[in-house]
Amino acid sequence: MAWYLSVQVDRDSAVPLTAQLQNAIKSRVEDRVLHPGSRLPSSRQLALDLGLSRSVVVEAYEQLIAEGYLDAVRGSGTHVARKLPESAGDTSLLDSRPATSARWDLRVGIANLSNFPRQEWLNSYTKVLQNVGREGMDYPPVAGIAELRNELSAYLGRVRSVHTEPGQVMVTAGFAQGLALLADSFQRLGIHELAIEEPGHNGQRRFILDTGITPVGVPVDEEGLIVEALERSGARAVLVTPAHQFPTGVMMSPERRQQLLAWARARDGWIIEDDYDGEFWFDRGARPTALQEGDPERVVYAGTTSKVLVPGLRLGWLAIPPKLYPLMERVRSRQDQGSDTLTQLAFAELMRSGLLDRHLRRVRSRYRSRREALAAAVHESLPEARLIGCAAGLHSYAVLPPGTDEAAVVHGAQRRSVLVRSGRQFRFSGMPGAPGLLLGYGSLPLTGISDAIEAIGASYREAARG
């Protein structure tokens, strides 16, 4: 049977055809015009119906499958997913992303979902299903299955120099759950304030407020969190991103690391290390190790698959100091019955087999090329900016000259079909800061980087003229 799908694309639009097709299908799914389980035409048939290249349809389908809107099963075609993904605002600590369409989107939030290693994941999951016993189908241990905790302990030690034993690792449903567990545990210890970096994560700040803890902004400079300001805050716990500060991208200096660890020991305090994109280090030579290595008794190390694989797996982990672990395990046991066993087993197999390492080498190379293209484009089209935070992660930060009207630059870029966020959007208590732009390239095609930065450069010069 030749299935038909009623969608339209505009060849005269600045929005790429793939993005138009993705948005059209996604909106029909979200509006329940396309019902869960509905079959879609094959990529070949839809391309023929719309007069498009088949590669355009294939790319759109693959992105929607990665985001959880569609399912594809060999032999039965492509269908609308029976269980749709939760909205970004519900599943992510990042601010929800407006639905505005544009040709190029430099906002941060997700990695390039087309990089998900589908075949490797399928192989790992299939192997698990073929060999899993009864214990794999039963309720999992609340802290995670032994196989994954063993693999994570070894992997984190090898790749990030994290000092932890399997019995100190807790598997979570992403970083959000880990942060909620920590907030609950801290309050039971009499800690009701959590210091956070500023500029920083507005979504995280709101999330922390919802847990009942008061977030306290602490300024960041080009060496990372200013520890003297942390000392003045009176907080006994702090959340930091030392490997690649969000949003500035700066790396915490060795001196600041030592000051921060000394603060924790003197204050009887706790440090949460959010290593949200620590796997993506691009500079040649040895990369910085995890802060946790400096004091495993005081630092809770947090990681996730959201950028390594995809956010939809809802898989994260905490390496917890021995003194804190029993309390967190009790708190966790009162909240749920652990994370999905089969997903844990599949991820453990992906790690054990070396497929995760191979995947990371492959995507690092791709993201390094994007990083280099971004730096070259800024040098060419926005020479007034100073680019920082380039050594790691999936974004860089462009510091603009003093007095720049950030809002005018952002609005000018949007008129040119480019979406970008200003540094001001990440300051939440009125702290002063140099104007800047957060340039995310994780989901930006390599071919679009030069055009996007050229448009931003034109917007900057327009704003400078007033």
Task: Quote the pLDDT of residue 62.
Answer: 79
235: left (phi over 0), alpha (psi -120 to 50) or beta: beta
Dihedral of CA atoms 26, 31, 32, 33 in degrees, nearest 10, equals -80
CATH superfamily, region 359-465: Aspartate Aminotransferase, domain 1 (3.90.1150.10)
Which residues, 6 or more positions from 149, have their beta carbon under 8 angstroms from its beta carbon? 143, 166, 167, 169, 171
Which DSSP state fits 425? G
**pTM attached to this predicted model:** 0.78
Environment class of residue 251 by beta-carbon count within 10 Å: exposed (0-12), middle (13-18) or buried (19+)? buried
Task: Quote the pLDDT of residue 103.
Answer: 84
Which residues, 6 or more positions from 301, have their beta carbon under 8 angstroms from its beta carbon? 156, 160, 162, 164, 273, 275, 290, 291, 292, 318, 319
Lowest mean pLDDT among 33-37, 64-68, 338-342: 64-68
Whether 342 contacts 313, CB under 8 Å: no
The 10s digit of each residue's pLDDT in 419-442 is 999 998 898 877 778 899 999 998
Mean pLDDT of 190-215: 92
Domain with CATH 3.90.1150.10 in the chain: 359-465
Residues found in the chain: 466
Fold category of 1-85 in CATH: Arc Repressor Mutant, subunit A (1.10.10)
| 339, HSE (Cβ side, Cα atoms, 13 Å) | 24
Nearest by Cα to 41 from 58, 26, 28: 58
Lowest mean pLDDT among 24-28, 128-132, 143-147, 213-217: 24-28
Lowest mean pLDDT among 81-90, 112-121, 182-191: 81-90
Task: Quote the pLDDT of residue 429.
Answer: 75
80: left (phi over 0), alpha (psi -120 to 50) or beta: beta
pLDDT value at 294 more than 50: yes
**DSSP alpha helices (H): ranges in 234-354?**
254-267, 325-333, 341-352
Which residues, 6 or more positions from 266, have their beta carbon under 8 angstroms from its beta carbon? none
Domain with CATH 3.40.640.10 in the chain: 121-356
pLDDT band at 90 (very low <50, low <70, confident <90, very high): very low
Which residue has better confidence, 65 or 136?
65
Environment class of residue 136 by beta-carbon count within 10 Å: exposed (0-12), middle (13-18) or buried (19+)? middle
The mean pLDDT value of the chain amounts to 88
Environment class of residue 183 by beta-carbon count within 10 Å: exposed (0-12), middle (13-18) or buried (19+)? buried
Which DSSP state fits 392? B
- DSSP run (H or E) holding 206: helix 202-210
How many angstroms separate the CA atoms of 52 and 60, rounded? 12
pLDDT value at 87 more than 60: no
Q: Which residues pair with 80 in a beta bridge?
A: 70
pLDDT band at 34 (very low <50, low <70, confident <90, very high): confident
Lowest mean pLDDT among 111-120, 151-160, 273-282: 111-120
Question: Strands 395-399 and 421-422, how do they pair?
Answer: unpaired
How many angstroms separate the CA atoms of 23 and 265, rounded? 51
Task: Quote the pLDDT of residue 4.
Answer: 66
Which class does domain 121-356 fall in?
Answer: alpha beta
Which residue has better confidence, 267 or 63?
267
pLDDT value at 330 more than 90: yes
Nearest by Cα to 436 from 394, 412, 407: 407
How many angstroms separate the CA atoms of 86 and 83, rounded? 9
Task: Quote the pLDDT of residue 202.
Answer: 85
Nearest by Cα to 240 from 204, 211, 212: 204
CA 250 to chain CA centroid, Å, is: 17
Q: 41 preceded by cis ω (within 30°)?
A: no
Mean pLDDT of 143-167: 94
Task: Quote the pLDDT of residue 89.
Answer: 32
Domain with CATH 1.10.10.10 in the chain: 1-85
The 10s digit of each residue's pLDDT in 228-281 is 999 999 999 999 999 999 999 999 999 999 999 999 999 999 999 999 888 888
The 10s digit of each residue's pLDDT in 372-419 is 999 999 999 999 999 998 888 889 999 999 999 999 999 999 999 999
pLDDT value at 10 more than 90: no
Whether 26 contacts 68, CB under 8 Å: no
Task: Quote the pLDDT of residue 97.
Answer: 47
285: left (phi over 0), alpha (psi -120 to 50) or beta: left
Lowest mean pLDDT among 72-86, 96-110, 239-253, 371-385: 96-110
